[in-house]
């Protein structure tokens, strides 16, 4: 309901000119093909099942929490159960996870309740470190695709699930901010609702295989030094193109040996406890990443940015091209990853 509260606040502002809402391009779920910049209607679902009502969803979530508390569930048990319940509700209506489901409902609320408040909704794709401002490569925290780079660079991630020809829709954070500023300037006191998808899959696509090769190239030339002062030597990452092949590999290569190590460790009074614990953490890390990114691993959609292209031509004067840049076509992906993004996450994210 956060989006509604912000809208209510905006309506009470005497001199408000417009409301800018940042959503995500992945409110589309797991659709394929060209995904248009179109708003959601209240109650619209991705799989066509009728009956989506936001107040009902809030009521169901509250009832579920009360049920868990009545059973005296621990905080951890309650958190796990509520996450699973949210996933069930999202999947029931066609969304792959709670994040995209709640983002879509936020858009619905704003579109339905905005009245005469001018509204622009920004839908960024996968946001990466800054292209230029406030300085190249700046990023805060581990998010989205950076989790893969961090895991790989630290030697925790040697394999993953994906499609070599998959297009990764990436966009630097400062380009998203510039698009937001441009939308605010353009739509001040305009009566309509506008949707802008901010990404690169249509104008300047990069394949998963390219990202994989550049990661290997960078961390081979610039190995991470771990806490013991040792270089982490990376190998070419293995990319599995199906969930079945990935699961077989993990079972044979890691899970079965880990089970054997667990038995030996118990027999030898926890002599191998550090080895077991370290290996177990690495396996859980990989499996957690696969679970987290499963909706996007085989995503076949291309995000249309026709509205954004019109915005670029409207607000960007030749003299301002270097200031209000948000055209993904200017990005040289190899240069960006080798000289901006990977150095940036090593500097600001690696611990």
Per-residue DSSP letter, 338: I
- Structure-derived torsion over alpha carbons of residues 183, 184, 185, 186, reported in degrees to the nearest 10: 50
Measured distance CA(322)–CA(308) in Å, rounded: 17
Please name the residues in contact with 218: beta carbons below 8 A apart, sequence gap of 6 or more. 337, 338, 342
* HSE-up (13 A, CA, CB side) for residue 213: 9
Q: Which of 26, 93, 103, 282 is catalytic?
A: 103
Residue 25 near residue 124 (C-beta atoms within 8 A): yes
Element (H, E) at 171: strand 170-172
Per-residue DSSP letter, 231: B
Look up 230 and say whether it is catalytic.
Answer: no
Q: Which of 11, 99, 154, 276 is catalytic?
A: 99
Look up 15 and say whether it is catalytic.
Answer: no
Please name the residues in contact with 194: beta carbons below 8 A apart, sequence gap of 6 or more. 119, 120, 121, 183, 187, 307
Residues carrying an active site annotation? 99, 103
């Amino acid at each position: 309901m956060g989006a509604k509260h912000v809208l209510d606040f905006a309506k009470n502002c005497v001199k408000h000119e417009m409301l800018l809402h940042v959503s995500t391009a992945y409110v589309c779920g797991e659709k394929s093909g060209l995904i248009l910049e179109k708003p959601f209607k209240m109650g619209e679902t991705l799989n066509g099942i009728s009956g989506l009502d936001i107040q009902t969803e809030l009521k169901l979530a509250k009832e579920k929490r009360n049920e868990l508390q009545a059973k005296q569930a621990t905080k951890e048990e309650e958190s796990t159960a509520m996450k699973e319940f949210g996933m069930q509700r999202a999947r029931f209506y066609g969304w792959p996870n709670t994040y995209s489901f709640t983002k879509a409902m936020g858009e619905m609320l704003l579109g339905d309740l905005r009245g005469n408040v001018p509204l622009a909704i920004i839908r960024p794709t996968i946001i990466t470190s800054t292209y230029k401002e406030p300085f190249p490569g700046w990023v805060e925290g581990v998010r989205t695709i950076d989790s893969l780079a961090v895991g790989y660079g630290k030697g925790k991630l040697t394999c993953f699930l994906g499609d070599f020809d998959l297009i990764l829709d990436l966009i630097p954070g400062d380009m998203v901010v510039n698009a937001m500023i441009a939308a605010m300037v353009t739509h001040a006191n305009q009566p309509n609702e506008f949707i802008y998808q901010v990404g690169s899959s249509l104008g300047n696509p990069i394949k998963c295989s390219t990202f994989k090769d550049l990661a290997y190239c960078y961390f081979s030339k610039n190995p991470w030094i771990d806490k013991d002062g040792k270089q982490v030597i990376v190998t070419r990452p293995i990319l599995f193109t199906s969930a079945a092949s990935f699961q077989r590999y993990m079972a044979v290569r890691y899970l079965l040996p880990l089970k054997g190590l667990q038995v030996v460790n118990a027999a030898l009074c926890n002599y191998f406890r550090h080895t077991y614990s370290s290996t177990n953490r690495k396996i859980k890390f990989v499996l957690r990443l696969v679970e987290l990114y499963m909706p996007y691993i085989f995503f076949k959609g291309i995000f249309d940015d026709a509205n954004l292209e019109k915005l670029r031509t409207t607000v960007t004067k030749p003299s301002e091209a270097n200031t209000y840049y948000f055209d993904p076509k200017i990005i040289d992906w190899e240069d960006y990853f080798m000289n901006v993004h990977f150095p940036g996450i090593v500097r600001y994210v690696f611990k």
